[in-house]
Amino acid sequence: MTDEKFFEEAEAQIPHGQVRTRFAPSPTGYMHVGNLRTALYTYLIAKHSDGVFILRIEDTDQSRQVEGAEEVIYRTLAECGLKHDEGPDVGGPVGPYIQTERRGMYKKYAKMLVEKGHAYYCFCDKTESEEDSGEFEREDCPCRSLPLEEALRRAETEPYVIRQLIPHEGTTTFHDASFGDITVPNDSLDDQVLLKRDGLPTYNFANVVDDHLMGITHVVRGSEYLSSAPKYNLLYEGFGWEIPEYVHCSPVMRDQQHKMSKRHGDPSYEDLRNDGFLTDAILNYVALLGWSPRGELAETEFFTLSELADAFDIAGISKSPAIFDIEKLKYFNAHYIRNMEPEAFAKVAEPYIRQAVKNEAYSVSKIAAILQNRCEKLTDIPEKLDFFDELPEYDIECYTNKKSKTNAELSLTVLKAVLPKLEAVADWNEDSIKELLTKMAEEMGCKNATVMWPVRIAASGRLVTPGGVVEICDILGKEETVARIKKGIAKLET
């Protein structure tokens, strides 16, 4: 029968007196945007109140586990700065924090619930298949009315599950921070399985037991779990436990009709990082997918993580689905790129720069400087730099530019005039190059662009470049710039 000492000791360990939240992912492979948002909101609720943020790994569904998935969870949280105060890797007062390591405990609580009259042993032959499909007609189940003594006797020799005993009559009302009070008739709820034949709990049972024993005060999860919330309430009430505050978040959508899904090619957090988005930009944008600041901050778009923690208010969470807009994320990313310290940008940009610029004589920091205000994401970088290592083929029509008032004939004149002046430059840098080109335009009685356009085309072979001719020539160096000017002259003379 009930192990009173075990339960008393478990209750005594529960922390009280502070906000405690948990992020409880299943190790199923990757961190999709909805999962990341749940982790972020859970973290922000805790930190806004100087509370505790907990990581718990929910691995009771062994069939869905993916090798290496736990590492993805740890790595993502670390990259995002969502540092957990308690968890499998850092410990804490209410561990273990991995559900399979707590498996012996769940049976005790399931049996306690049976003794309290809120659950029952079910010996039906098709239990497992029904459990998987969700099809179970409780009215037809003879096990609901089995006397406890008979059920305990049969449980010694027969396989069984333990099911929640949902009342036939009445209603159950639960409260959600976003959706308010929701009432459902009890006859619409199924007698869900709490403990499976293998002795492992179902998700719906384990998370209730764990949330109570870990002192969780706020439960953040997707709105798809709203339909399960009445059954959670009945479990809490059956045990006589305090019900935490529910915070159900509406889904992140690909469009008006479809939820984001990896199966449909929608990006995970890692996909977004691999596609050149910065973690800070991703977090900032994801925070605003279903939440908006209020008061003086109502019009604010850009937040650091600490600023989000200060501003985050549960009342700002929306009931409406949020549509993930990749173009909006690019806008956020471009802002974060532009506002990085130059040295920091050069560091994150270097791998992308070196994809296109193998010649190490070309300065990464100088190339990064011409890119920082000219790219939306890091993966834009390589295609912008394909002219540095080798001058690409280009048509002489490139020298004709209406705005710069140039054509092939005038460009040839400019390049022939500028070549000896460039060859004579002793101290090669941006200032000396700019001074030379502007002085030459003055001498020729034309706009600066009339001189600079032909030189840029000869130096890069591109109509569009990151940075202007001065920066490009400085990076290329005197020898390469002069060589390219000579090639331009030869092309125009042909």
For residues 458 and 415, give the distance between their C-alpha atoms in angstroms, rounded to a whole number: 8
Which of 350, 390, 387, 386 lies closest to 368 in space, CA to CA? Answer: 350
Spacing of C-alpha 379 from chain mean position: 18
**Taking a C-beta distance cutoff of 8 angstroms, is the pair 440, 451 a contact?**
yes
**Using CA atoms, how far apart are residues 140 and 57, in angstroms rounded to an integer?**
36
Phi and psi at residue 193, to the nearest 5°: -70, 135
Q: How far is CA 223 from the centre of its chain?
A: 18
SS (H, E, C) the chain: CCCHHHHHHHHHHCCCCCCEEEECCCCCCCCEHHHHHHHHHHHHHHHHCCCEEEECECCCCHHHCCCCHHHHHHHHHHHHCCCCCEECCCECCCCCCEHHHHHHHHHHHHHHHHHCCCEEEECCCCHHHHHHHCCCCHHHCHHHHCCHHHHHHHHCCCCCEEEECCCCCCEEEEEECCCEEEEEEHHHCCCCEEECCCCCECHHHHHHHHHHHCCCCEEEEEHHHHHHHHHHHHHHHHHCCCCCEEEEECCEECCCCCECCHHHCCCEHHHHHHCCCCHHHHHHHHHCCCECCCHHHCCCCCCCHHHHHHHCCHHHECCCCEECCHHHHHHHHHHHHHCCCHHHHHHHHHHHHHHHCCCCCCCHHHHHHHHCCCCCCHHHHHHHCCCCCCCCCCCHHHHCECCCCECHHHHHHHHHHHHHHHHCCCCCCHHHHHHHHHHHHHHHCCCHHHHHHHHHHHHHCCCCCCCCHHHHHHHHCHHHHHHHHHHHHHHHHC
Rounded CA separation 1/88 (Å): 31
Task: Decide if 416 is catalytic.
Answer: no
Q: How far is C-alpha 126 from the geometric centre of its chain's CA atoms? A: 40
Question: Choosing from 262, 416, 447, 487, which is the catalytic residue?
Answer: 262
| Residue 367 token pair | 């190339």
Any idea which residues carry the catalytic annotation? 262
